[in-house]
Each structure stands twice: as C-alpha cells, then as structure tokens.
C-alpha cells in the first residue's frame, strides 16, 4: 500500500508529466532555434536606433542619471554572446559582474527555470519554504565541510546581506568586540555597514561611520618577500592598539573590486594563524570567487579550511549564503529575512553548482583552468604585438610594474595604458562599441577585468574577443 507521502503531488512530479515535459522541450527547441543566428559580434540595426535611444532616455529619467554603458538587453543571447535591444550582438565578458556563470540563454538552465516556475510561490523565505531551500543548503555544506568545520548555512537573497549576516555572527560570537580588520582595497557590498568595511571613500560619502575598521595591506606581487611581514606587522599594531576589540578579519582571497589581486597560501595562513592566537574570527568573503576558480570554494583550493570560521558566497550561486562553524552559530533571533530567494533562483543555482561539480570544471586541469590559460596566452600575444599600448603600470608611490595581466580562474584582468583611469574607462567604452563588454577594477592603477561565462565559454572564443579588444585599444591610442 502506498504511503501518504507518495500520494502528495509535488512540482517535481508534475514536471515529470509527459505533457509538461514535452511542453518544456518544445519551448527549449524554439529558444535554440532563435539563438542559432547569434554566432558572432555584430553592429546595431539602424532601424532600431530611435527605439533604443528611447529606452536609454527612460532609464536615465527613472534612475536620475544615464547608465554607465548604453546596455539594454533584448532578452536573447547564446552563451558568451548577448543580443541587445538595438540588434547588436556583443561578447559578454562581465556577465552581470559574474552572476551569469553559464552566459545567456543556456537551454538546460532555461528548462530548469521552467520546471521551477510550476511552483506555488515565486519567492521563498525563512518562515515558509519548500524543499529547494534545504537542498541548496545541503549541497553548499557538503562541499564546504571537506577540510573545514563549516556546518551551518543561512541562505539570503543578496551578497551584501550575506556579508551583513557574517558581520553580525562575528560580533555576537566575540562580543563586546566592536572592530573589524579588513584588507586595504577591500570591497564588501553596498549596504550601510558594508561600505564602512569597503576601502572606498566614495562608497560612503555623506554617510555616518557605523563600523570601526582597521586595514591591513594586501599581498604585493611585486614585493612578495616583504608582504607577509608587512601585513603581520599591521595586524599586530591594530591588535596592540585595540586589545580584545576585533571581532573578525574579513578576507577576500582574491580582491575583486580592489584589482583582481591574488596571494599565495602562506600569506593568508600566517594572518589567519595570528587571528586564531588572538581570538579573532576568520571570515572569508567568497561572493566573487565562489565556484569560479579551481574548486567550489577558493579557501579549499588554498587549503585554508582549518582556519575558517565564517564564509560568505554569492553571485554565480543565484541565491547567496553565510556559512559558519558550530562555534559561530548565532543565537535565535540574530539571523532572519523575509526572502531567501525566488524558486527559480534556488533551482537554477543548485543546477549550476551540480554542473560545475560534475562536469570537469574544477581542478588544476579542469575547464576553468584551461579557459584561464587561454586568456593568458591570448593577452600575452597582444602585449607582445603592441608594446606601445602596454607600458609599465604606474603606482602612486612612483614605482612601476611590468605585471600587465593576471587573476585566477574565471577572474581575469589586464592593464593597458599604464593603468591610467581615464584611458582604461575609455578602453572599456571602445570595447563595448566594438563588440566586447568588459569592466574595470582597482584604483591607482586601474585594470580591465573579465568575468567570462566559464560554464559555457570555449578557449578558442578568446581569439574573436581579443581581435575586437585589439581594435578598441587601437582606437583609444589614436584618440590621444
């Protein structure tokens, strides 16, 4: 006799219905047919220009200022390529600042989203939720627990709120500590508290101070032999000046907005060990690195799990999360929110993680590593062909560097024109006009950054991307 559980209909069983499955297959086939013409970058259609300008004017009116890029999507794309509402097609190398890990219009994810749309609610929350919330938390913890003591997961619908949750967890655990350590050049989000942690005066202009932060220098690739000692000295000075006052050290293992800077394991391990000796929580911010490098979590790739107390993840996961050890589990009432995320985001996020985990993406020879190697090969060729665009990179203290490109995994950067801000922004705009969407990062110097859709992009496609980049950089050089 069937159990009562087996008699309960679910959207999962509904999606397996032959009628529903066939309907989804029909939609996906129609989508694939529409995508078939999107195979390369192309210019805008003149007959759509007036309508497109109207879109941009309406956006500027609604927001109070024009968009940084004149980007209005058509809703149709094909992997790394996106079609805009003016009919142009561009290589999307920024992907919502790393959100669209599988690019545009991935048919498997569209099918997942269609099945998810059968659910009874658009949004799920912390009071009322379906099985998707449990399953996503479990898959995140299953991987995170390998080599670390992370055992609990709080899901929430934005990276800034995941970081807010981590900050509260650390303050409660280490009360009455009221200070935070962070790396110089850090970025943590746009909420009132997170802009205090982020090392950008412009991001908190006109706001009252709400969090006390002490900054520690990040690893300097041009001065590797001194970096750890300098950082440890800064940490020790802060601890000596404010004994017992630091609740946590928030660490981006790859600085995102700060310039896609990387550091070796030894640098972080030394700082984390010093934090442990002083009772300071180690909070690793993986909002941008999650899933994008050589493992699901970059702290695992660097073998730092033994030190980690709190981890935050987001962007490519679609729904964000704060993970923590049993020791950092908060008391009831500290963490909650109306929304966890949409049902579509929960199911699509889980599917993306499963594909990355099972599809040969991670590891030293995985698809992401191969894509990064192709990026370095192609940008290295461009640097060799046009040394006039790639002079030494200038720093405010007067020194220069010949490190003209870098990053790790799906986080890629290169630095033409000495890293001068005005010329880098001009280069990004020229790239956009020519058919490649990138963005910039860092401050003195400024870099061009790529966050390509590593889930679908092929290494050979960098040939087309960098042909366009070369054209754009030539235009910037000619404008001088």
Write out pLDDT tens, residues 320-355: 999 999 999 999 999 999 999 999 999 999 999 999
Judged against a pLDDT cut of 60, whether residue 5 lies above it is answered with: no
| pLDDT(47) > 70 | yes
| Distance spanning both ends of the chain, measured CA to CA | 81
Residue at 105 is within a domain: no
Q: Does residue 350 sit in the same domain as residue 371?
A: no
HSE toward the beta carbon, residue 345, CA cutoff 13 A = 23
- pLDDT-derived band at 8, boundaries 50, 70, 90: low
Regarding whether 350 and 440 lie in a shared domain, the answer is no
307 shares a domain with 416: no
| Phi, psi of 402, deg, nearest 5 | -105, 15
What is the pLDDT of the chain when averaged over all its residues?
95
pLDDT at 70: 95
Shared-domain flag, residues 83 and 133: no
Q: Are 83 and 184 members of one domain?
A: no
pTM comes to 0.95
Domain boundary among 338, 358, 378: 358
Is the same domain home to 351 and 372? no
What residue numbers bound the domain in which 326 lies? 123-358
Q: Which two tokens stand for residue 93?
A: 């190398």
Please state the domain count of the chain.
2
Report which secondary-structure segment, H or E, holds 233: helix 224-241
In terms of domains, do 326 and 272 share one?
yes
User: What does the block give as tokens for 57?
Assistant: 């004017």
Please indicate, yes or no, if residue 109 is contained in any of the structural domains. Answer: no
Is 115 a member of any domain?
Answer: no
Is 113 part of any domain?
no
The angle at the Cα of 260, spanning 256 to 265, to the nearest 5 degrees, equals: 100
Among 324, 342, 358, the domain-final residue is 358
Regarding whether 177 and 297 lie in a shared domain, the answer is: yes
Residue 181 and residue 235 in contact, taking contact as beta carbons nearer than 8 Å: yes
pLDDT at position 375 over 50: yes
CATH at residue 236: 3.40.640.10
Cα distances (angstroms) measured from residue 191 to each of 155, 185, 248: 17, 17, 18
In this structure, are 227 and 329 located in the same domain?
yes
CB 109 within 8 A of CB 329: no
In a shared domain, residues 262 and 194 = yes
Whether 5 is covered by a domain: the verdict is no
Computed over its alpha carbons, how large is the radius of gyration of the chain? 23
CB 144 within 8 A of CB 322: no
Express each pLDDT in 401-439 by its tens digit.
999 999 999 999 999 999 999 999 999 999 999 999 999
pLDDT of 2:
41
22-57 per-residue burial string, b: 16 or more CB within 10 A, e: under 16: eebeeebeebeeebeebeebeebeeebeeebeebbe
Boundary residue ending a domain (358, 385, 406): 358
Which CATH number does the domain housing residue 473 bear? 3.90.1150.10
Verify that 438 and 412 share a domain, yes or no.
yes
Q: Is residue 437 part of a domain?
A: yes
Give me the residue label for tokens 């005066």: 201
Q: What is the mean pLDDT of residues 138-148?
A: 96
Give 8-62 as a 3 state SS string. CCCHHHHHCCHHHHHHHHHHHHHHHHHHCCCCCCECCCHHHHHHHHHHHHHHHHH
pLDDT at 3 over 50: no
């Amino acid at each position: 006799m069937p159990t009562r559980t087996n008699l309960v209909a679910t959207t999962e069983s509904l999606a397996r219905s032959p009628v529903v499955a066939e309907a989804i297959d029909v939609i996906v086939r129609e989508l694939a047919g529409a995508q078939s013409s999107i195979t390369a970058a192309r210019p805008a259609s003149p007959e759509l220009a007036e309508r497109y300008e109207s879109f941009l004017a309406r956006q500027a009116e609604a927001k109070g200022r024009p968009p940084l890029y004149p980007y209005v999507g058509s809703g149709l794309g094909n992997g790394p390529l996106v079609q805009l509402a003016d009919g142009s097609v561009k290589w999307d190398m920024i992907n919502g600042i790393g959100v669209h890990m599988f690019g545009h219009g991935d048919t498997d994810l569209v099918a997942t989203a269609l099945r998810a749309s059968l659910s009874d609610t658009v949004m799920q929350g912390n009071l009322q939720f379906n099985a998707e919330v449990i399953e996503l938390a479990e898959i995140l913890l299953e991987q995170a627990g390998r080599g670390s003591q992370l055992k609990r997961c709080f899901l929430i619908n934005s990276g800034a709120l995941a970081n807010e949750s981590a900050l509260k967890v650390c303050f409660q655990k280490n009360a009455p500590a009221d200070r935070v350590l962070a790396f110089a050049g850090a970025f943590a989000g746009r909420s009132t508290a997170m802009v205090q942690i982020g090392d950008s005066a412009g991001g908190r202009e006109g706001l009252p101070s709400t969090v006390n932060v002490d900054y520690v220098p990040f690893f300097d690739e041009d001065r590797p032999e001194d970096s750890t000692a300098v950082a440890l000295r800064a940490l020790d000075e802060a601890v000596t000046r404010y004994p017992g006052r630091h609740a946590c050290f928030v660490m981006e293992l790859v600085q995102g907005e700060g310039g896609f800077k990387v550091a070796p394991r030894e640098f972080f391990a030394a700082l984390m060990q010093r934090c442990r000796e002083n009772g300071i929580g180690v909070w690793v911010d993986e909002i941008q690195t999650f899933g994008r490098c050589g493992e699901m979590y970059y702290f695992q790739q660097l073998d730092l799990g033994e030190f980690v107390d709190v981890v935050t993840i987001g962007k490519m996961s679609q729904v964000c999360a704060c993970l923590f050890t049993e020791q950092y589990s908060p008391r009831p009432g500290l963490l909650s929110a109306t929304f966890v995320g949409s049902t579509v985001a929960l199911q699509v996020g889980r599917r993306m993680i499963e594909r990355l985990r099972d599809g040969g993406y991670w590891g030293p020879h995985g698809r992401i590593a191969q894509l990064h190697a192709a990026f370095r090969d192609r940008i290295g060729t461009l640097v060799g062909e046009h040394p006039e665009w790639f002079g030494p990179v200038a720093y405010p203290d007067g020194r220069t560097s010949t490190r003209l490109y870098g990053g790790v995994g799906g986080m890629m950067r290169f630095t033409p024109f000495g890293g001068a801000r005005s010329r880098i922004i001009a280069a990004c705009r020229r790239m956009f006009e020519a058919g490649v969407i990138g963005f910039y990062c860092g401050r003195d110097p400024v870099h061009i950054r790529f966050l390509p859709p590593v889930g679908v992009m092929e290494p050979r496609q960098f040939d087309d991307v960098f042909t366009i980049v070369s054209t754009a950089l030539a235009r910037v050089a000619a404008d001088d």
